Amino acid sequence: MRKTTGNIVGQFFGGLNCYLRRCMFAILSVGPVPSHIAFIMDGNRRYAKKKNMEEGDGHKAGFNALTSLLRYCYELGVKYVTVYAFSIDNFKRKSTEVQSLMELMRKKIEELLEQESLINEYGVRLHFIGDMKLLTDPVRAAAEKATRVTAHNNQRVLLICVAYTSRHEIVHAVQECCKEKLNEVQVSKEEKITNDAFSGIDQGLKGNDFDLLSQDSCKEYRNAIKACSTEVECAARNDGLFENNIGNHISNDTEAETTLYNGLVELTEERKDIQDELPVIKLADIEKNMYMAVAPDPDILIRSSGEARLSNFLLWQTTTCPLYAPTALWPEIGLRHLIWAVLNFQRHYFYLEKKKKQS
């Protein structure tokens, strides 16, 4: 009897809490609502020490906090949420801890795909951001499956940064740009060489009344080449001719200098033309090849545990993004922190929009 009564009371207060939360979100929605919020989930291990928990239990508590915050964000109307789940620098930790985190990540990714999960409730599409080759095979397989299964969802987007640092992302984008531009240069050169070759052959054959489709013309072409080769060999054996040419060159230094100058001018102009033809890597090219190109830049960046630093996270995308750093550890972060961050965003909204247009 007591258990049944407790369940009814729990359901009542749970429903009341949900109703009040939706009322607060309705009031917040009167102002500008951020379309993208990013989270740095910091403080899981410190939370475990604070609560005298085992080492991995802090990360499990952190996942529960993430689930709650995702629900709050999606109820508010935020379309994009990005979380910093695992940095490339985290691979420097103890191997047992890294392996434990990889296993926990695999389990949580599989839980996200369950029928009753938040992902299916809100139609969330998953993107895994980072260098997937650095992950263990089971985690990479789970991430690829989650990406594939949720590819048809278009209501909300969750970006999970694993094996990620911002510097690695920038280097990757530049490398991809260089590959693209190199391919463009090679294709352009091949097309130019092919066109010039066909044009030269066509002009040469037409000037000599040759037709490649005619066998007689082909025979005449081969005979002409043999005749020219014989004449060149005879001229090369004529020493007197070479001696006369050498004397003419020695007596005409001024003409040689003029010819050399003209050749240098032509070479300089040719190099200038080549430089003009080289493709240039532009800002849009780099942004197109970023891992985070699938989402707009964040409107708010929230980092738990009171640390006011980015830790190599979204350095490129957060130039005009406000940072909110509550002192609460990640498993302790809740609804009040999210509401306060959104209120601060709304208070500075027009100033931030002005900065975005100037950048």
- Residues involved in catalysis: 42
Assess contact for 71 and 149: CB atoms under 8 A.
no
Distance, in Å, from the CA atom of 327 to the CA atom of 303, rounded to the nearest integer, reads: 9
Angle at 176 between CA 142 and CA 144, to 5 degrees: 10
One-letter amino acid of 142: A
How far apart are the C-alpha atoms of 270 and 244, rounded to whole Å? 34
| Total number of residues shown for the chain | 359
